[in-house]
Chain A
Amino acid sequence: MVDLATILAGFADAFTLWNLLFVLFGVVVGQFVGAVPGIGPVMAMAIAIPFTFGLDPLPAIAFLVGVNKGGLVGGAVPAVLMNTPGTPDAAATAMDGYPLARDGKPLKATKMALFSSVTGDTFSDLVLITVSAPLAVLALRMGPVEVFALMIFAFAVLSGLIGNSLIKGVIAAALGLLCAMIGSDPENYTPRLLFGYWELFDGLPLASVAIGMLAISEILRRLSQIQGEMKGAIEVRDTGDPNDRRVTWAEYWACRFTMLRGAVIGTILGALPGIGSTAAAFMSYATAKSTSKEPETFGKGNLHGIAAAESANSAVVGSNLIPLLTLGIPGSVGAALIISAFMIHGIQPGPLLFQDQGRLIYGLFGAMIMANILNLWVGQAGLRFWVKVVSAPESIIFASALLLCIVGVSMATGGIFGVAVMLIFAGLGYLMTSYGYSVVIFIISFFLGPRFEVSLSQSLALMNGDWTQIVNYPIALILFVLAAVTTAWFLSRRTPEDPGASVSIED
Chain B
Amino acid sequence: MKFGLKLAGALAGAVLALASAVNAEEWKPSGTLKLQIGFGAGGSTDTIGRVIAKVMKDQTGWNIIAENKTGGGGVAMFTGISKMPPRGTVIGLGVNMPIMVNLVKRGDQLPFDLNSFDYLGTASRAQLALIARADAPFNTLAEMVEHSKENDGLAIGFGAPPQKLLMEVVNREADAGFRFVSTKGEAETQKLLLGGQVMAGFSSGTHIKYLESGDFKMIAVANDARHDYSPETPTVRESGYGAYVDPYYFFATTAGTDPAALAALTQALDNAINSDEVAKVIQNAAVSNPLNLGPEGTKKMMFDGVENVKVLFGE
Decide yes or no whether B85 CB sits under 8 A from chain A.
no
Are B75 and A141 in contact, CB atoms less than 8 angstroms apart?
no
Are A42 and B41 in contact, CB atoms less than 8 angstroms apart?
yes
Besides A187-B180, A187-B182, 10 other A-B contacts (C-beta < 8 A): A143-B197, A198-B75, A198-B110, A273-B188, A340-B42, A344-B281, A344-B284, A352-B212, A414-B36, A454-B183
CB closest chain-B residue, reference A334: B42
Minimum CB–CB distance from B306 to chain A (whole Å) comes to 17
Minimum CB–CB distance from A98 to chain B (whole Å) comes to 30
Decide yes or no whether A53 CB sits under 8 A from chain B.
yes
Are A328 and B206 in contact, CB atoms less than 8 angstroms apart?
yes
CB closest chain-A residue, reference B75: A198
Q: Number of A-B pairs whose CB atoms are under 8 Å?
A: 151
Known contacts A140-B191, A188-B161, A414-B36: does B72 contact A337 (CB below 8 Å)? no
Are B71 and A200 in contact, CB atoms less than 8 angstroms apart?
yes
- 18 A-B pairs (CB sep. < 8 Å): A50-B53, A50-B54, A51-B54, A140-B191, A143-B195, A143-B196, A144-B197, A184-B72, A187-B180, A191-B106, A199-B76, A202-B72, A328-B206, A333-B42, A347-B284, A351-B215, A415-B69, A458-B183
User: Binary interface profile of B, 129-142, with partner A (CB < 8 Å = 1, else 0)?
Assistant: 00000000000000
Report which of B46, B180, B187, B284 forms a contact with A345, defined as CB distance below 8 A: B284
Decide yes or no whether B30 CB sits under 8 A from chain A.
no
User: Binary interface profile of A, 311-353, with partner B (CB < 8 Å = 1, else 0)?
Assistant: 0000000000001000111100100110110011111101110
Minimum CB–CB distance from B261 to chain A (whole Å) comes to 23
Are B284 and A343 in contact, CB atoms less than 8 angstroms apart?
yes
CB closest chain-B residue, reference A411: B67
Are B184 and A202 in contact, CB atoms less than 8 angstroms apart?
no
Decide yes or no whether A358 CB sits under 8 A from chain B.
no
Contacts of B209 in A (CB 8 A): 328, 348, 350-352
Contacts of A199 in B (CB 8 A): 71, 76
Count the A residues whose beta carbon is within 8 Å of the partner chain — how many?
55
Are A454 and B215 in contact, CB atoms less than 8 angstroms apart?
no
Report which of A141, A346, A461 forms a contact with B280, defined as CB distance below 8 A: A346
Are A343 and B285 in contact, CB atoms less than 8 angstroms apart?
yes
Contacts of A188 in B (CB 8 A): 161
With the chains together, A461 CA to B206 CA distance in Å?
25
With the chains together, A344 CA to B277 CA distance in Å?
10
Minimum CB–CB distance from A206 to chain B (whole Å) comes to 10
Which B259-309 residues sit within 8 Å CB-CB of chain A? 277, 280-281, 283-285
Contacts of A202 in B (CB 8 A): 40, 70-72
Known contacts A336-B42, A350-B210, A414-B68: does B50 contact A49 (CB below 8 Å)? yes
Most interface-central of B42, B181, B190, B208 (chain A CB within 10 A): B42
Which A33-65 residues sit within 8 Å CB-CB of chain B? 42-43, 45-46, 49-51, 53
Minimum CB–CB distance from B209 to chain A (whole Å) comes to 5
With the chains together, A462 CA to B195 CA distance in Å?
13
Decide yes or no whether A500 CB sits under 8 A from chain B.
no
With the chains together, A347 CA to B206 CA distance in Å?
11
Decide yes or no whether A295 CB sits under 8 A from chain B.
no
Contacts of B192 in A (CB 8 A): 143-144
CB closest chain-A residue, reference B70: A202
Are B191 and A323 in contact, CB atoms less than 8 angstroms apart?
yes
Decide yes or no whether B114 CB sits under 8 A from chain A.
no
Decide yes or no whether B79 CB sits under 8 A from chain A.
yes
Which B192-220 residues sit within 8 Å CB-CB of chain A? 192, 194-198, 206, 208-210, 212-213, 215
Give the top 6 A-B pairs by smallest Cβ distance, nearest first.
A201-B72, A336-B42, A46-B41, A143-B197, A140-B195, A198-B76
Report which of B71, B76, B101, B191 forms a contact with A329, defined as CB distance below 8 A: B191
Contacts of B190 in A (CB 8 A): 327-329
Minimum CB–CB distance from B124 to chain A (whole Å) comes to 14
State the main secondary structure of chain B at its contact with A: helix
Which A8-53 residues sit within 8 Å CB-CB of chain B? 42-43, 45-46, 49-51, 53
B residues in contact (CB < 8 Å) with A = 36, 40-44, 46-47, 50-51, 53-54, 66-73, 75-76, 79, 101, 106, 109-110, 152-153, 155, 161, 179-184, 187-188, 190-192, 194-198, 206, 208-210, 212-213, 215, 277, 280-281, 283-285
Are A53 and B277 in contact, CB atoms less than 8 angstroms apart?
yes
Are A343 and B181 in contact, CB atoms less than 8 angstroms apart?
no
CB closest chain-B residue, reference A140: B195
Decide yes or no whether A274 CB sits under 8 A from chain B.
yes
Contacts of A323 in B (CB 8 A): 191
Decide yes or no whether A385 CB sits under 8 A from chain B.
no
Are B191 and A49 in contact, CB atoms less than 8 angstroms apart?
no
Are B47 and A340 in contact, CB atoms less than 8 angstroms apart?
yes
Contacts of B182 in A (CB 8 A): 186-187, 454, 457-458, 461
Decide yes or no whether A253 CB sits under 8 A from chain B.
no
Decide yes or no whether A227 CB sits under 8 A from chain B.
no
Contacts of B66 in A (CB 8 A): 50
Are A201 and B184 in contact, CB atoms less than 8 angstroms apart?
no
With the chains together, A330 CA to B185 CA distance in Å?
10
Which A103-140 residues sit within 8 Å CB-CB of chain B? 139-140
Are A454 and B284 in contact, CB atoms less than 8 angstroms apart?
no
Are B155 and A141 in contact, CB atoms less than 8 angstroms apart?
no
Contacts of B79 in A (CB 8 A): 198
Minimum CB–CB distance from A344 to chain B (whole Å) comes to 6
With the chains together, A76 CA to B208 CA distance in Å?
41
Are B285 and A340 in contact, CB atoms less than 8 angstroms apart?
yes
Are B54 and A337 in contact, CB atoms less than 8 angstroms apart?
no
Known contacts A344-B47, A351-B213: does B281 contact A201 (CB below 8 Å)? no
Decide yes or no whether A249 CB sits under 8 A from chain B.
no
With the chains together, A143 CA to B283 CA distance in Å?
31
Decide yes or no whether A467 CB sits under 8 A from chain B.
no
Decide yes or no whether A464 CB sits under 8 A from chain B.
yes
CB closest chain-A residue, reference B286: A343
Minimum CB–CB distance from A72 to chain B (whole Å) comes to 18
Contacts of A464 in B (CB 8 A): 152-153, 179
With the chains together, A404 CA to B215 CA distance in Å?
48
Minimum CB–CB distance from B105 to chain A (whole Å) comes to 9
Are A189 and B161 in contact, CB atoms less than 8 angstroms apart?
yes
With the chains together, A46 CA to B70 CA distance in Å?
14
With the chains together, A329 CA to B183 CA distance in Å?
12
CB closest chain-A residue, reference B157: A458
Report which of B42, B44, B195, B212 forms a contact with A141, defined as CB distance below 8 A: B195
Contacts of B110 in A (CB 8 A): 198
Which A145-201 residues sit within 8 Å CB-CB of chain B? 184, 186-189, 191, 198-201
Contacts of A458 in B (CB 8 A): 181-183
CB closest chain-B residue, reference A143: B197
Are A140 and B194 in contact, CB atoms less than 8 angstroms apart?
yes
With the chains together, A464 CA to B152 CA distance in Å?
10
Are A462 and B206 in contact, CB atoms less than 8 angstroms apart?
no
Contacts of A141 in B (CB 8 A): 195
Are B181 and A462 in contact, CB atoms less than 8 angstroms apart?
yes
Known contacts A143-B197, A351-B209, A351-B213: does B191 contact A414 (CB below 8 Å)? no
Are A414 and B187 in contact, CB atoms less than 8 angstroms apart?
no
